[in-house]
Structure formats: C-alpha cells, structure tokens
Chain A
Amino acid sequence: MQTTIIYDFKMIVNMKKIIYSFFFFAVVCHANAQVEKGSLLIKGGTVLTVTKGTLEATDVLVKDGKISQVGKGLTAPAGVRVIDASGKFVMPGIIDAHSHAGLDAVNEATSPVTSEVNTGDVLNPFEMSLYRALGGGVTTIHAMHGSANAIGGQCETIKLRYGVKDPDALRMEGAPRTIKFALGENPTRVHGAGNGILPRTRMGVEFVIREAFSKAKAYGEAWDKYNKGKGQKGFRGAPPAYDLRLETLLDILKGNIIVHCHSYRADEIFMLLKVCQDFGVKRLVFQHTNEGFKVAPELAKFGAMASVFADWWAYKFEVYYSTAYNAAILTRNGVTTSINSDDGELMRHLYHEAGKTQKYGALSDDEALSLITINPAKQLGIEARVGSIEVGKEADIAIFSAHPLSTYAIPLVTVVDGIVRFDREKDQDDMRIYIDPKLAADASVGMDRDHDSDKCMQDAEEMFDNIFDLH
C-alpha cells in the first residue's frame, strides 16, 4: 500500500477526514468488490504450463479460483464441474499488455502531461469487446490510456470477468500501478501541430518528460522540507500546494509505478533510456517498439522490457523501419518480450500472432507462448499470480481445440479465477448485460474498427483537425 509520506497530519483540522482524503488509495483499498471465484476440474488435456514444460494427458484441479493441483488421476469434489479436455490443449489465459478495451474514455488529450488521470476511473464492464476477447482465450488485459500525451494517464490491469455489473469487480486487485508515456509522432502532432504548444518535435518530447520529472522532484523536496519543519517546535509555515499530477510523477521516481512507453524509433527509445537513467527510473516497458531490435542489447542492459506487434507496421512514418523478426531478436538478446494487440480484433487471435515468431525467428513453442503469457505478466508485475499453470497461481486458463500455435486452433473454453467466462458450446447469440433502451432492438453493438491506425489515438482524433484549421 502506498502512502504519500509528504503529509504530516497533526496540524490539520479534522484529522481523520483529511488523512482519508490524502491517502492515495492503491487499487487494493478501493471499495472491496466481492470477486467471484470458482472450482473446476479440467481432465486429460495436454497442459502447456509454459514455465514447467508440457504435460500430456494431465488434469488441472482448481479450487476457489486457484490452481490447487496439476497431475494425473485427479478427482473433483462433489458439485464441482468437470471439463473433459482429452485431445485438447490447456494453456494459461492469454495476457494482453496493451489494450483500450473496457474503457469509456481513452485519451485526456488536452495537455501533454496528464499523469493524474487514471483509466481505472472509467472502466466499463458492459463493453462487448471484453467478451469477444474471452472468445480468443484472453483473461487479463492492460487497459491503457492513449498515446496522445508525452506523459499520459495511469492504466488499470483488469481481468475479463465478463458478466459482472460493477466496474470495480473487473480490477485485478493488488496489481502494480502502471502509467502510459508516449514518444514520437502522436504527442507532437496532437499538442505541437494541433495546439501550437510544446512538444512539436522529438526534442520537445524529451524536454517535456525531463521537465515533468524535475518539477516532481522539486515538489517532493518542498513537501519534505515542510514536513521536516513541521515536526520542529514553534514552526509556522505554509504548506506547498497539492498537485495530483506531480504526486503521481513523484511516485514514478520512487519506483512505485511501472512506466509503459509507446515508442517506435530506436533514437527515441534510446533517449528515454537515458532520461530514466538520469532520474533513477528503473521499471520500464517499451510498447510497440518496432525498432526495438536495433537497440536490443541496450534494452537488455537497462533491464527494460518490450511489448511488440507480431507484424503490424508502415501505417505511419515512424513505423516504417520494422521487421517481423522483432520479437525473436529481442528475445534472443535477453529482453523480456511480449506480443500485444492494441486492437479489439487482433486481441482475439493473439495465439496466432505468437505463432508467427516461429516462422520469423524460430522461437520454440514455450518461447512463443511466453510472449502472450508469462512475459506480459512480468511486464505488468503480476507474474507471481498469473501467466503460467503452476500450483498456487490464479486459475486463468484457456482451452483450445488444437495446439494454440497451430493455425487450426480454436479457443473452446476460457476460465477466469476458476469461473468459466467463455464456453463455445454455450455461447448465446445475445451476450449483452445491459441494453441501451434508446437504440433500436437490433442495433449493432460495439463494432471494432479496422486496424488502419492504432487505437492509441481514440478520443484525440478531433485534435488533428486543429492542424489544418479544420475545426
């Protein structure tokens, strides 16, 4: 639990209330939504544990949302559902480290630095894309802020517990805090070209980030000074102003928040490595990183991780120099790499995306599967809880008709916390939870757009109008 040590509360009137309001509640402490957990027995499948090898004709027993046993000849207690997985493949639920699904707003694109906002405030459990992702074997996603700002908003790691009505029930309680940064064309076009403010070039982006961190440092020092002074007798002084933006940036500097940075070009990736080095930021994951292969050794040396596309590029100038071997090269150079979707449609076949690295880079089965399971878990800081089939881990499991890396694989059952959230045989035509009474009964719901552009710019499109004075 994070506490902002900035404040000494003794001098403040109405102590309890202010303590309460100043405590920056980590996700853990938020209104405790009862998370439904289930028990299951998955019998006789080929279990792809990802971390501990492949086990033929093996059972997986789930008790109260956790994997309690993995072995042969297991029996389920009375009343527990048994899923016959003989001839089928059982793998850990897929984790998408870059998504914008399940959010009512993606980009607070009015300022180049918006670290104070949090996608956890705008979760929407009724979005159909969450169910469709379950249909592709995905169990956990990183619901991110968009890439309109150099320093964007905090993101929320959510589990696809589709069917719940309370947004709080989607949160993966206890997951580490994360935040979105963005480099390159998106922030420079939205703010520089669109509104004529900093940043307009990559130089500007670097400055915005450096300035933000410097200001946060100064903010922290001012509050430390005030708190130290307060303890002394006879101290009378004014506190500095409170600023949620700078509070969050300070938390990044303290290592409490993992930075996920949208970036493409090698020069800007290198730039951010240097900035983080200068400010002591160590927990860093690069998103997209199409030119990551050029700086793979540097990334590995820093300890930064990378979350990439399998083969999606050339939709912008900064994404021209790319290769389908990116994930493989990064992996071979010791960078923890994952494959993400950043798209509602792509999210549904991440297992095929992972398979592409076997053609482009000759990754082994477990290496390829790691890209969509344990590696994204590491990047989100949740590898102790999910990402592989091991006793004690949370029961997020996907069952496929064939090996998930095979072109013929079809997801059949997706389990989250031991509850079956997707079952191909019981998939209803109408899976909506809430219905909009203003729409026609047969209006189509939640169409995902084509991926002619990355979804990172959702909500910020109108800012582009400003570039050519098209308001």
Chain B
Amino acid sequence: MKRNYLKYAFRTFALLLMFPVVLRAQEERKLVPVARTYALTHVNIVQAPGRKIEMGTLIIKDGLIAAVGKTVAIPPEAIVIKADSLYAYAGFIDGLSRTGVLKPKEESKERVKDPGNPPPDRAGITPQNDVRSFLNTGEKGIEELRNLGFTTAQVVPYGGMLPGSAAIISLENTSPDAMVMIPQSSFYSELTPAERVYPNTLLGLMAKWRDLYRNAALQKSYASLYASNRNGLERPASDRILDAFYPVIDKRVPVLFKAEKLLDIQRVLTLQHDLGFSVVLADVKEGWDYIPKVKGSGAKVFLSLDLPEEKKEEKKEEKKEEKKDVKDDKDKKEIKKPEPEIATDSVEKIALEKRKADFIALYTSQALAFQKAGVTFGFASMSAKTKDIHANLLRMIKAGLTEDQALAALTINGAQLLGISDRTGSIDPGKMANIVITEKTVFDEKAKIRYVFVEGVMYKIEGEKSGGDKKTEKP
C-alpha cells in the first residue's frame, strides 16, 4: 500500500509539473511605510510668499505639518532627510485640470433621427455626472503634474457643454476615493456645442443653458411646495439633469466655466448676468481687456498656464539642427549644407511679425495685468503641456510678475479661491503636508524638483534633466 501511495504521489507530482502554475512568491503588497514622520533639516522654507525661514527644520507627521521653525525638536521615529541648501514650498494648486480622469473611448455614434430633440448625452448635457466615476489612479497625468510640484488639483469630467461636477483631489496614487479631498466642488461647464444635434452652435448652447437653468429653478420651487404638503398635488417630475442645478441655484456651489478667449469670458458673464449664479472663470488666456467687467461680476479667476509660442523658440531649434549637421559632416563627409539665405522680408511682413509679437506679449503679461488690477487669481493647467509649464511661468515673471506673486497664485491664492486655504496652500503647522522641495529656488531656470510630499506621502523625483522624463520613486 505504501508503495502504491508513493507511486501515486510521484505520478501526481509529475503530472502537476506539466501544468505550469504561477507561483506568487512576490505579490505586490502595499507595505506600510516604516514611519509616517519625516524631518527635513537645514532646508530653506518658504512658508508663504514673504515668509521665509533660512536653514530651518520641517516636521511632517501623519500627513500634516507638525512643526516649522529655525530649530525644532526632531521626533525620534522621524525619517530624517538632510535637505541642505534645498528649498521647501507649499505644494502647487491647479484650478482646472483633467489629471486622473480617464478619457472616454471614441465611439462611433449612431445618427440621431431628430437632431432637434437629441438624447441629452449626445447633446453634451450630463450635469448629473460626477468626475469621481471617471477617476483612475493609473492616469499618467497625475505623476506628470506632481513632478512639477503640484499636489492638489480641481478635476472635471470629459463631455460637452455640461460634463458634470468637479472634485478637488490630491495628486497621489492610492485609490480614486482616497484621492478626493472635496467631492462635487463645482458645477462644470464649457462653451462646447454638440456635434450634429441641438445645440450645434453657440447660439443654441446659450439658449439651452438659460432654458435648463430656469426650468430647474421652477422645478425646485415646485418640489419644495409639494414637500410641504404632498396631498392633492400632482407630483413633481423627477429629472436628474435639472436636479444637478439645485446646488447652483442655492449658491452652495459655483459654476466652473472654462473661458479661454475674451469672447468666451463675455459670453459666460452674460449667462451669469442673466441667471445670477456665482461663477469661476478658469483657463483664462485673453482676459486683460475684460478685467473691469470680471471684477464687477465677482467672478473668481484661474489664469491659464498655457502661453502662445514665441518666435524665438524657432531660432533655438534651428541652432540645434545645425549642431546635428556638423556631426553628420564629420562622419559622412557630405557636401557642406549651404547657408540658408536670409530672405529679406518685405516691410509689410516685418510690421506684421512685430504686431504678432507685440500681441503675444499681451498673453505673457496677462497675469501682471490681473495683479495690477488687484484681482486675486490662481492658475489652471488644463490646456497647457506639462513640459511647458515651468517655462511659461518664467515667461510671466520675465514680463513683470514677481516671483512672490507667481508663488502666491500657485499656492495660497489658489487655495483661497478653492476654499481650502484653511488646510493647505502654505507651510504652517496643522495644514496638510503638501510640500515641494527643490534644488535652487523654484523659479530658477535650472530649478529641479527633488521631493514632493502629497498629504505627507513622500515622492522622490529622479531624473537628470529638468523638464525631461522623470521617474518617481516612492520609498
């Protein structure tokens, strides 16, 4: 019997060997960090624009800033990071972005039979959508923005004119729900008409906005009448789309509008004037001529971090190409590339180029214009390319915005406009540990970001070149 058993065991074992089984020896386990306390020593701390501590100590504990000062006692369990000659700033805040939001797949849409009465989702009318349903921790934008020093962003869903509600998130990668700091922070809208169905143009969009809002107000007032005594009255219609407007009508939540160009701003403020909601203008690019009206409307502003390309950049690219040619010549000994003829531009073209350059300068000095007019503003990264953001900030500073003002817009002012300045936006005890550690000051041309703390979780930023591909390593 024993012998049979052995044979049987041997055969079974041999059989099993034929079927490879994945051995999960190294499971991906989320290891709890050794400690949630960090101490950064000898670091230059910029608590907020105008408040600086040279060679100080910063203690982070359990996701919050525990202590800041010149000499502070370091808790025994703290992981000490020697931050000699590094700079610490409050993490940057992005007023409008789609970081972390999965882009929906392009579906081929069936033709709508009656374009005048399309289903609401085809019309882009989905205000009941919540961006939280679309958050994905794998979206690479989270890491890209974080590598630039951003720790907090207000994100919105994809869609048409009424994509849904926004949420304020922390740029970390644990889980969609853990990321969310404030759900349904704003009611998001864009001046984006629908394709091939009503509203197909801005004309229809403006009218539809008014119609929806007024119907929502009417439905809401009837619903409250009905609620007071439900007997004897026809019950109110239930409409998820109109229901989504209720917090806006109550002014508990503002309407967050993407308004890039001057005419966009004017049209948004027209709707605001007609309907009376409180409004946040975001990703503003051409606002300088409309500042008095923006001020008068009480709108909050997030300026765009995107700037139009300047012609100078083209010359730099030419130089790089020339360098490459030199290398080729050495190797292949080809015919020397003839010097490109500098075409003598006509007087007219020179004047047009100058006009264009002067106009582009207005974009660069937009932040300064808002600053001078006394309008508090934050920044939004929605239409900016991450690789250009640092350079664009430098351009704005070159145009006259001070570094402190730029820092304020990225941190404390952005926090104030989002209503979170009590818990983030500056390096003060008790606030969330959203911190950026840089080599050289943050607006230096060659500034490099070394660490980013998002709610006390440290991300180390590797990478040789500033602006190049960065890898983050989470210890």
CA of A31 to CA of B262, assembled, Å: 16
Chain A contact residues: helix, strand, loop or mixed: loop
Question: For residue B116, which residues in chain A have a CB less than 8 angstroms away from its CB?
Answer: 110-113, 197
Q: Mark each residue of chain A from 113 to 135: 1 if its CB lies under 8 Å from any CB of chain B, else 0.
A: 11011110110100000000000
Known: A21-B274, A22-B214. Is A435-B359 also a contact (CB below 8 A)?
yes
Q: Does B174 contact A (CB under 8 A)?
A: no
For window 226-279 of chain B, which residues contact chain A by CB distance below 8 Å?
229, 232-234, 236, 249, 262-263, 266-267, 269-270, 273-276
Question: By the criterion CB–CB under 8 Å, are B214 and A242 in contact?
Answer: yes
For window 335-365 of chain B, which residues contact chain A by CB distance below 8 Å?
348-349, 351-353, 355-356, 359-360, 363
Chain A contact-residue range equals 35 or more
Question: For residue B286, which residues in chain A have a CB less than 8 angstroms away from its CB?
Answer: 434
Question: By the criterion CB–CB under 8 Å, are A434 and B262 in contact?
Answer: yes
- Chain A min CB distance to B306 (Å): 11
Listed residue (B111, B210, B355) with the most chain A CB atoms within 10 angstroms of its CB: B210
Known: A167-B263, A434-B359. Is A117-B221 also a contact (CB below 8 A)?
no
Question: By the criterion CB–CB under 8 Å, are A238 and B349 in contact?
Answer: no
CA of A213 to CA of B208, assembled, Å: 20
Chain B contact residues: helix, strand, loop or mixed: helix
For window 412-464 of chain B, which residues contact chain A by CB distance below 8 Å?
none
Question: By the criterion CB–CB under 8 Å, are B359 and A437 in contact?
Answer: yes
Q: Does B204 contact A (CB under 8 A)?
A: yes
Question: By the criterion CB–CB under 8 Å, are B114 and A197 in contact?
Answer: yes
Question: By the criterion CB–CB under 8 Å, are B360 and A437 in contact?
Answer: yes
- Chain A min CB distance to B361 (Å): 10
Q: Does A79 contact B (CB under 8 A)?
A: no
Task: Specify the chain A residue showing the minimal Cβ separation from B270.
Answer: A121
Q: Does B7 contact A (CB under 8 A)?
A: no
Question: By the criterion CB–CB under 8 Å, are A441 and B356 in contact?
Answer: yes
- Chain A min CB distance to B387 (Å): 18
- Chain B min CB distance to A237 (Å): 7
Question: By the criterion CB–CB under 8 Å, are B202 and A430 in contact?
Answer: no
Question: By the criterion CB–CB under 8 Å, are A116 and B360 in contact?
Answer: no
Chain B contact-residue range equals 35 or more
Question: By the criterion CB–CB under 8 Å, are B202 and A104 in contact?
Answer: yes
B289's contact among A118, A165, A435, by CB below 8 Å, is which?
Answer: A165
A437's contact among B199, B232, B356, by CB below 8 Å, is which?
Answer: B356
Known: A18-B217, A442-B352. Is A104-B270 also a contact (CB below 8 A)?
no
Q: Does A241 contact B (CB under 8 A)?
A: yes
Question: By the criterion CB–CB under 8 Å, are B274 and A109 in contact?
Answer: no
Question: By the criterion CB–CB under 8 Å, are B207 and A111 in contact?
Answer: no
CA of A377 to CA of B197, assembled, Å: 36
CA of A237 to CA of B267, assembled, Å: 36
Q: Does A243 contact B (CB under 8 A)?
A: yes
Question: For residue A441, which residues in chain B have a CB less than 8 angstroms away from its CB?
Answer: 349, 352-353, 355-356
Question: For residue B225, which residues in chain A have a CB less than 8 angstroms away from its CB?
Answer: 11, 236
Task: Specify the chain A residue showing the minimal Cβ separation from B215.
Answer: A242
Question: For residue B290, which residues in chain A have a CB less than 8 angstroms away from its CB?
Answer: 165-166
Q: Considering the complex of A and B, which 6 residue pairs feature the smallest CB-CB distances, nearest first? A: A111-B116, A437-B308, A105-B201, A117-B203, A116-B207, A121-B206
Instruction: Mark A residues whose CB is within 8 Å of B.
Output: 11-14, 17-18, 20-22, 25, 30-31, 104-114, 116-119, 121-122, 124, 145, 153, 165-168, 195-197, 236-239, 241-245, 429-430, 432, 434-435, 437-438, 441-442, 459, 462, 471
